[in-house]
């Protein structure tokens, strides 16, 4: 059974930092692109950051570039999102997601992310 479990969310003041973790139970983690997505109340889900299976290729939403860093540890089947200089507009439920095993070391479009976690709440107070 595929399982993705996010952790590390919470309440933080503007300007603060958090590190989200996503622990994956599925096999072949090191062959899957992974990503962080978020959904704020009343808004559509958006891509925050994505990373290829090797970790060599990454992609960030313009709104988080320079503040967030995505990384992964394939030996631990875990992905991370380091979030610095948090803003109130970063408040959302953050989800991790993964693709099926892939050959190409690409980022992949959102529709390719077919495995999803339950989400972790991040709240940034002003």
What is the chain's mean pLDDT, rounded? Answer: 96
pLDDT in tens, 19-47: 999 999 988 999 999 999 999 999 999 99
pLDDT in tens, 46-64: 999 999 999 999 999 999 9
Residues 85/18, Cβ–Cβ less than 8 Å: no
């Amino acid at each position: 059974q595929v399982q993705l479990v996010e952790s590390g969310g919470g309440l933080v003041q503007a300007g603060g930092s958090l590190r989200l973790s996503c622990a994956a139970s599925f096999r072949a983690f090191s062959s899957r692109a992974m990503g962080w997505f978020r959904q704020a109340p009343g808004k559509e889900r958006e891509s925050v950051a994505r990373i290829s299976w090797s970790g060599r290729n990454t992609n960030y939403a313009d709104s988080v570039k320079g503040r967030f860093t995505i990384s992964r540890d394939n030996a631990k089947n875990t992905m991370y999102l380091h979030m610095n200089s948090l803003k109130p507009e970063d408040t959302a439920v953050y989800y991790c997601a993964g693709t099926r095993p892939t050959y190409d070391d690409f980022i992949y479009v959102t529709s390719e992310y077919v495995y999803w976690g339950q989400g972790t709440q991040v709240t940034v107070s002003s």
